[in-house]
Amino acid sequence: MPLDPQAKVMLDALAAAPPFDMEGDINEFRTQFADMGLPSEAIEVAHTEDRSIPGPDGEIPIRIYTPEGEGPHPILVYFHGGGWVIGNIETHDGTCRELCRGASALVISVEYRLAPEHPFPAAPEDCYAATLWAAQEASSLGGDPGRIAVGGDSAGGNLAAVTSLMIRERGGPTLRHQLLIYPVTDCSFETPSYEENAEGYFLTRDMMKWFWGKYLADPQAGDDPLASPLRASDLSGLPSATVITAEFDPLRDEGEHYAKRLKEAHVETRVSRYDGLFHGFFGMGAAMDRARDAVNEAIDALENAFAQ
């Protein structure tokens, strides 16, 4: 179907902005991304706190969002998108606030180490460590250690899927759910959605090749299921999943293929494609009605998982 009219307005505005300089200083690129100034609403939660927690190689910054009401609250450990190279707690503050308030969940946003300074597997190890910490400290935070989910968008969706695999293999808290928002699941660029949406829809094929090139110090590491969870031989025993994709997104097919693999492994999985929308739409609810629909779907999925 054609672009959603509101999505077209947003995409035109993004196209009119200065292009990302991916060949210059990496920190300038990060600043440019952080300063995009996407439309957002002021969303109040009961409390936020920035702190650092122990990680596998130093401290990991996190932000804790606490909802209104009496605890113990369910917990969502959230990993931001940005191709494992850009993005931070601030760029995804609005999304975390929406999920905190909507799902009445304590949200822990994780600022994992970024590539290329810290290539794979630094980010997955940080996310795994943060999820274990959330379970261990749940009670002191006003959270429920028996109701924990992981979630993320794009590269963060990759990290949520990978963290679920790591917890299954290494042990850790029982996860109630994995919220995968247009996740990266495979180090491959040959799907129909990569061909159809190679450029012109905010995230391009060339950008994804660049991100993967920065993330993997060794290109062969792309075969590792902790980099490409779609390549895991066994997806059984994972927590239930919600997979959200966008029609005009290079990552559409690999996200939907991962959802299919989860279903084949008898993992309760819901997959929703948002036709007419493009990669990154989930954080643009102030400008697009369909984006708000997706946020509400994610909130409903979390509430249902936490209620079981």
CA 187, CA 209: separation in Å to the nearest integer? 9
Planar angle of CA 178, 14, 80, nearest 5 degrees: 25
Burial class (CB in 10 A: 0-12, 13-18, 19+), 24: exposed
HEC profile for 27-96?
HHHHHHHHCCCCCCCCCCCCEEEEEEEEECCEEEEEEEEECCCCCCEEEEEEECCCCCCCCCCHHHHHHH
From the list 4, 109, 154, 224, the catalytic residue is 154
- Indicate which residue of 4, 126, 144, 249 is catalytic: 249
- Report the DSSP pairing between strands 106-110 and 73-79: parallel
Question: Which among 87, 96, 132 is positioned nearest to 114, based on CA atoms?
Answer: 87
Catalytic residue, from 92, 118, 177, 279: name it. 279
Q: Is 139 a catalytic residue?
A: no
**Angle value at C-alpha 158, between 183 and 144, nearest 5 degrees:** 105
**Which neighbouring-strand residues pair with 180?**
152, 243
**Active-site residue flag, 249:** yes
* Residue 154: active-site member: yes
Q: Side-chain half-sphere of 234: how many Cα atoms within 13 Å?
A: 5
For 266: left if phi > 0, alpha if psi spans -120 to 50, otherwise beta; the answer is: left
Beta bridge partners of 56: none
**What is the maximum span of the chain, computed from C-alpha positions, in angstroms?**
49
Q: Residue 245: helix, strand or coil by DSSP?
A: strand
- DSSP letter at 237 equals T
Residues acting as catalytic residues: 154, 249, 279
